[in-house]
Amino acid sequence: MTTIDAKTVMKLREMTGAPMMDCKQALTENGGDMAKSTDWLRKKGKASAEKAASREVKEGKLFSYVHHNGKLAVLVEIVCETDFVARNEDFNRFGKGCCLTAAAFAPAFLNRESLDQAAVERERAVVLEQTMMTMKGKPQPVIDKAIEGRMDKFFQAKCLVEMPFVNPDDQSDTRTIEQSRQWLVGKIGENIQIRRFHYMVLGG
């Protein structure tokens, strides 16, 4: 059995923000492998988020960001189950990061579900045509995988929750907003959702 020292546990905690006991468990179950342990923690966060998703969210907070030149602003509404969590430091850090992300990447939509389906189908048709031309002669499963990969890139460029989370305290954070949300749900134990956002530019 692999021996996990406190220094290694702390390093994983700094990388992921996960609780110490979860980090120790992840490292123990993955033989001390950092990459596998990080994936393990993300899967655990996703499972916790899915379990909590059906619970009612009646509290929350509006977060805002105005760029220093006064020509760009963002509003993000994030909801939770209790007012206690709305005052939580991690919850507020997440809200601030969501605003910074929206300001940095100017997303058009919150998530895939909020995209206009007609626009999605038009994009898929273009991607299909381009892929069939550039990968002519390749096996169909390979072409299908390439199409889905290119569509994923399309969604990642449009949807706030799929964009890289701009962590106000850690620039090395590699998670997306959705992965950060899942981790937060797992840590706090409440259903936490980004309900809506509004990105504004002067004259836009």
Query: What CATH number should be reported for the domain holding residue 77?
Result: 3.30.479.20
Dig out the tokens for 161 from the structure. Answer: 């929750």
pLDDT at res. 50: 62
110 phi, psi to nearest 5 deg: -75, -50
What are 157-173's pLDDT values in tens digits? 999 999 999 999 888 88
DSSP strand E in the chain: where? 59-66, 72-80, 193-201
pLDDT at res. 136: 87
pLDDT at 122 over 90: yes
Q: What type of residue is 65?
A: Y
Based on the domain organization, do 38 and 77 belong to the same domain?
no
Based on the domain organization, do 193 and 123 belong to the same domain?
no
Q: What's the structural domain count of the chain?
A: 3
Q: How confident is the model at residue 68 (pLDDT cuts 50, 70, 90)?
A: very high
CA distance 56 to 190: 10
Domain hosting 120: range is 116-158
Q: How confident is the model at residue 183 (pLDDT cuts 50, 70, 90)?
A: confident
43 phi, psi to nearest 5 deg: -65, -40
**136 exposure class (CB count in 10 Å sphere: 0-12, 13-18, 19+):** exposed
CA distance 138 to 134: 9
Based on the domain organization, do 122 and 91 belong to the same domain?
no
Read off the CATH number of the domain in which 13 is found: 1.10.8.10
Based on the domain organization, do 47 and 85 belong to the same domain?
no
Q: How confident is the model at residue 46 (pLDDT cuts 50, 70, 90)?
A: low
Based on the domain organization, do 197 and 99 belong to the same domain?
yes
Do residues 73 and 202 make contact, with C-beta atoms less than 8 angstroms apart? Answer: no
As a whole number, mean pLDDT of residues 182-199 equals: 91
Lowest mean pLDDT among 54-58, 124-128, 134-138, 140-144: 54-58
For residue 50, give the 3-state DSSP assignment: helix
79 phi, psi to nearest 5 deg: -115, 155
Based on the domain organization, do 28 and 46 belong to the same domain?
yes
